[in-house]
Amino acid sequence: MAKDSKEWLKQASYDIGTARDMMTSKRYFYAVFMCHLSIEKALKGIYQERLSVLPPKTHNLLYLLNKIDLKPPEDIGRFIVNSMRLASPPGTLKKSGCLPKHIPSR
């Protein structure tokens, strides 16, 4: 694995540790934020490793999953889709084309 890809994964590991600490201290909002950040960094590490280019500046987990052709387990895929729906105006995910074909939209 390339040095830059490893750095993304190292940061993802650190962030998930921070999320655990936030859970322990009952700071749930920050725990969720750090979980998202950790997943994002892990996906960017995989992106850089698979595509040999710097990952885009995006927080969109669905976009990253599509670009690296990674198919999460169905329950995790549904969770990501639902969390993205909560954070986006109605209809924008389908219009933007970032809903993956392999994750059910309902």
Q: What are the boundaries of each domain within the chain?
A: 1-55, 70-106
Interhelix angle 3-24/28-51, rounded to 10 degrees, is 170
The residue written with tokens 């219009």 in the block is 95
pLDDT confidence of 54, banded at 50, 70, 90? very high
Q: Where does the pLDDT of residue 87 fall: very low under 50, low under 70, confident under 90, or very high at 90 and above?
A: low
pLDDT of residue 55 exceeding 90: yes
Distance CA(14)–CA(11), nearest Å, equals 5
Position 70 scores a pLDDT of 93
Reported pTM: 0.77
